[in-house]
Structures are given as C-alpha cells and as structure tokens.
C-alpha cells in the first residue's frame, strides 16, 4: 500500500515561508502546517500564507492551531501554557482557533489540529467542563466550513482522550495520531493507543522517541526508527486497519535535512514492503 509521505513544516525550518520552499524542493507532496504567529491571522500575512500555500501546489492535510505564550519546555510549563485548558486564556484562544477556519478552508485543508493541553482527571472540574464546551464551539464553527477538528494525541492516555471526545460528542472531532508523544510524555503504549483510537484517526505523525527516565519529565525524541515506538509495526498496523491518509514526518527537537530524508526513505520502504 503506497500512501503519501508528508512533512510537518516546522520540522524543516521555524520560518513558515522557508519551510514551505524546502518542502517543495525536497518533493514532499503533502504537508501539515505548524501554528502561525497570532498576529498573522488578522494581518496581511494571512493572505500571504494562503497565497503561498495555494501557489505551492502541495496538499495541506491539516493546519495546526497554536497560541501565543505556549511553551513545551517541560511538563509543568506545558501544563501552565499549552492548549485550551487554562480558563484565563480559553476565550481568547478559542477565537484564535476559529480564525484558522477560513484559512484552512481556503487552502483546501480538511481540518485543523490542536493540542488540548493537560486536562484535569476529574470530569466535574470546571476546567474539564469548560474545555469540553470550548471544543464543542470550535467543532460547530468548523462544521460551518465543512472542516474537521483533530486533537493531537499523547499528552494523555488514549482512553482519557477517548473520554474527552465522547464528552464533546461532535462527529467532526477526530485525532492526529502521534505515536512518539505517548512515549515522550510517558502516557501510554502507542500500539494499544492505535487500536483504541483508530476509528478516529484522521492523520498520523511519524515521530519516534524514548520514555522519560524519570516520571514527571519529558522523554527524548530520536531519529525515526531508532526510538522505542517500533514505527514499522505501527505503520503496518495503521495501514492494515485501513488508514489511507499521509504519513507525516515530524521532528520537533531539530535534526537536519539528512535525517528527514532518511526518515522518508525508511517510511517508503515500510509502506512498500507491506504490499
């Protein structure tokens, strides 16, 4: 089974336009775009981004939504700064997320994707209830543009993400499955997570890594194929289950182009030898 191999743009370069040019040069047919600076969404940059994506001829499989002030430095910082969980940022961030919708629609992307952040365990907690309500509002707004909303996996066990998705109860809510995150955050086994979440999988990040050495810290990302994910088994299983979307390479901690090219060759070999 041959599925397209894509790239998460900020794995190539932090600069959107440089990364887009590199993706074209390297011949990736499909991309995920990373979060844009918030002011771009209301400024002239929004039209520039849209025009550049259309002119590139690349397929935009999803646009990631992100927010000013987020940091992935360590677990406590992520808990404090990332996603829709924090009540003091939630309304503003929801409005930011909605600004991505016409942009995504305009460039032909089928969805937007975001990190929720660390949800409280208790479903009665105000931050849990508020986040679920915010997600409903985002899904309903996305529906107006015929778009899906995907949640990035791995910051919580798959079963908890599934609970959230059921509580939100919107047909256009799915997941972007990132096997590496389950290990980096030490939350779940990526293979068990795939079985649980598969019907909701709308995208796949090919990212590898190792579990944290100490609880409460982040694990280490590795080149694709040299971490503990067993990406070969994971990709083959996703294809066997019926996944036909792109396999999108993501490398967050910086790598260099040679490593990304090697990751693409590795994935091409896996998907061809699966036939």
The nearer residue to Mg ion, 90 or 152, going by C-beta atoms, is 152
**Total number of residues that touch Mg ion (CB under 5 A):** 3
Look at residue 31 and give its three-state secondary structure. Answer: strand
Segment 49-108, which members bind Mg ion (CB under 5 A)? none
Segment 219-258, which members bind Mg ion (CB under 5 A)? 250
* Paired residues of 59 in beta bridges: 30
The nearer residue to Mg ion, 16 or 46, going by C-beta atoms, is 16
The nearer residue to Mg ion, 205 or 264, going by C-beta atoms, is 205
Strand pairing class (111-114; 5-8):
unpaired
The nearer residue to Mg ion, 41 or 175, going by C-beta atoms, is 175
Please report how close the Cβ of residue 206 comes to Mg ion at its closest, in angstroms. Answer: 9
Please report how close the Cβ of residue 112 comes to Mg ion at its closest, in angstroms. Answer: 14
Please report how close the Cβ of residue 235 comes to Mg ion at its closest, in angstroms. Answer: 15
Does residue 166 contact residue 211 with C-beta atoms inside 8 Å? Answer: no
Segment 170-209, which members bind Mg ion (CB under 5 A)? 178, 205
* Distance separating alpha carbons of residues 214 and 211, to the nearest angstrom: 9
> Nearest 5°: CA angle at 56, between 8 and 45?
80
* Paired residues of 247 in beta bridges: 5, 204
> Nearest 5°: CA angle at 34, between 239 and 175?
40
Residue 115 interacting with Mg ion (CB under 5 A): no
Contact residues toward Mg ion (CB under 5 A) are 178, 205, 250
């Amino acid at each position: 089974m041959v599925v397209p191999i894509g790239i998460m743009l900020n794995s190539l370069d932090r600069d959107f336009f440089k990364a887009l040019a590199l993706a074209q040069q390297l011949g990736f047919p499909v991309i995920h775009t990373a979060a844009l600076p918030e002011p771009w969404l209301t400024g002239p940059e929004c039209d520039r981004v849209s025009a550049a994506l259309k002119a590139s001829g690349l397929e935009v499989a999803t646009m990631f939504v992100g927010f000013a002030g987020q940091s992935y430095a360590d677990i406590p910082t992520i808990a404090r700064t990332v996603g829709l969980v924090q009540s003091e940022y939630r309304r503003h961030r929801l409005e930011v997320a909605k600004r991505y919708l016409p942009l995504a629609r305009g460039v032909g992307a089928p969805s937007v994707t975001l990190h929720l952040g660390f949800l409280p365990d208790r479903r009665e907690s105000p931050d849990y209830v508020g986040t679920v309500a915010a997600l409903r509002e985002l899904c309903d707004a996305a529906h107006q543009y015929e778009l899906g909303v995907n949640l990035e996996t791995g910051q919580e066990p798959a079963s908890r993400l599934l609970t959230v998705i059921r509580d939100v109860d919107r047909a256009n809510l799915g997941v972007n499955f990132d096997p590496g995150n389950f290990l980096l955050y030490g939350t779940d086994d990526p293979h068990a997570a795939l079985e649980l979440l598969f019907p909701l999988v709308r995208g796949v990040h090919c990212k590898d890594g190792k579990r944290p050495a100490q609880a409460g810290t982040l694990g280490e990302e590795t080149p694709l194929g040299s971490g503990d994910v067993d990406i070969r088994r994971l990709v083959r299983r996703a294809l066997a289950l019926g996944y036909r979307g792109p396999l999108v390479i993501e490398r967050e901690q910086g790598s260099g182009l040679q490593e990304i090219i090697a990751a693409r060759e590795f994935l091409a070999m896996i998907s061809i030898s699966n036939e």
